[in-house]
Structure 1
Amino acid sequence: MTTPPDPPPAPRPAAAPQATSPQVAAGRAATEQARTERAREKEKTGRLKAVLDTIPLLATLTTVSVALFSSLQSQQQYRDTQASARFQSAVELLAGDDLTTRVGGVALLGQVAQTNSERRENAVRLLATFLRVHSPATDAGRAAAVTREPAAEEVRAVFSAMAYRGDVKEVDLGRISARGLQLADADLRGLILARSDLSGGSFGRGDLRGVSLQGATLRGVGFGQADLRGAVLTGADLRDADLRGARLAGTDLRGTTGLTSAQLAGATTDGTTRLPAGITVPVAGAQTAPTP
């Protein structure tokens, strides 16, 4: 006897889609909004904490900055006070009766010029005035024979102090007597030496570009390898001056006395070098008669 097959199972009805009620949607939105608010509050709290954490650091930095500024200000005031005291002391020493005292004043003014830029120009110009008063050029001095005696102590001290003049220009050292002054390799730019007596001195390898030597007495002065480009020597007395190797491009030599063509042998000139009438630059390698 054959058993009849089981009937196929009845198909399950499809699940009906669950409807989202307005209340559920509103609840979800409220939950999301609350989560967002909590995140914002947490972020704000973190920023506030970071700011509060920096306040002690800022306070410390402010305190340190104020202390540093006060310290620097105090140091500057101290330096100014010291410079003022040195300047006043130097002025008093310059008026001293003996040579040692005056030279000490010159050296002290040189220190002021070196260390205090605000008083540098006053110090430099005071030194120039001191030298014009204490070592003036005279007609008798200009006419005296050239010797190799060293320059006066005060003169040497002032020129040493002038090394600290910095960018002070147009320093008037005109009409001074500085006979026998030895200043090899010196930078004399910015100095005015017009009508000064520098006889017997030496400025070898010095930088005298643009320096005014107008009317100066330069008898027997050594200018070997010196840079005299653009210098003004009109009216200067150049008898027996050594110009070998001197750079004279653009130099005005018109009206000089005692200059010979032989003295220009070995000097460097160009078309802008202005020479006195009758003076020429010897051709390189040509034999030049010795100066009588």
Structure 2
Amino acid sequence: MAIWNLGSINADMVYAVPHLPGPGETLAASKLEQFLGGKGANMSVAAARAGSHVCHIGAVGPEGRWAVERLTEYGVDTRHISEAEVPTGHAIIAVDAGGENQIVLFPGANHSIGADQLGQALSSAQAGDLLVMQNETNAQVEAAKMGRDLGLKVCYAAAPFEAEAVQAVLPHLDFLILNEVEAEQLQQASGLSPDQLPVPQVIVTLGSRGARYFDTASGETQEFPAFKVEAVDTTGAGDTFTGYVLAGIDRGMPIAQAISQAIRAAAIMVTRHGTADVIPDLKDVQDARF
């Protein structure tokens, strides 16, 4: 099996600040680092490091070849990443001393993915493969419909959250992952709680409290507690969780085992500064002692 990821690719500019800036406030950063990022790239790297074959569908600008090379180095299949005329997406990320972050995102080439590119990529997919999307690219609805028609397991990570974007793909989904705030916002927009959504499997991440899993067909709900660690940077933790969950499913794990492993990976991730470049590999996760 394989994971197909219609996903963003960004240059993440991470600034260490004493606290997150308020309106009109100017802060001096004590440190600047650049990482490979984007929710899509993060998920691809996480799933690849968790042992899956991951095919990334995306786009970079003329100056973004370094990002494609980095993804390749991390074990991601990059044959379906195109080069656009617009700049590569990038994010400006402020991280405070407690590890909380604030992000400004420029989509760039992530919104230039064509239907031909998408169709050509997914023509190589096989029934039973996984397709994952996030809300940082264009063509999400088209991909979801195409994935459903091809017999793929269609998954959506509902961030950056827009209720309209989630509702547009809901009819085609098999799996939905969103955080607690996003779940509340979706319920306000749709009138449906997570266990009532027309999606067979739903995970709501709860930050430092872990995650909650809903099997909407059976009505089963499971709680998964988080591990207590000292967080230094929460950037990319949710993406790491998602990549590891999908890799677990792809590799045939029971859902409870996949979620538990993903929580371990996310716990390691928040103890590291950075995004895709510092996502833990499977050995890190298996060897971790909490």
Specify if TM > 0.5: no
Q: Which has the higher helix share?
A: 1
TM-score (norm 2): 0.28
TM-score (norm 1): 0.28
RCO (CA 8 Å, sep 6+): is it higher in 1 or 2? 2
Which is greater in Rg? Answer: 1
Q: Which has the higher strand share?
A: 2
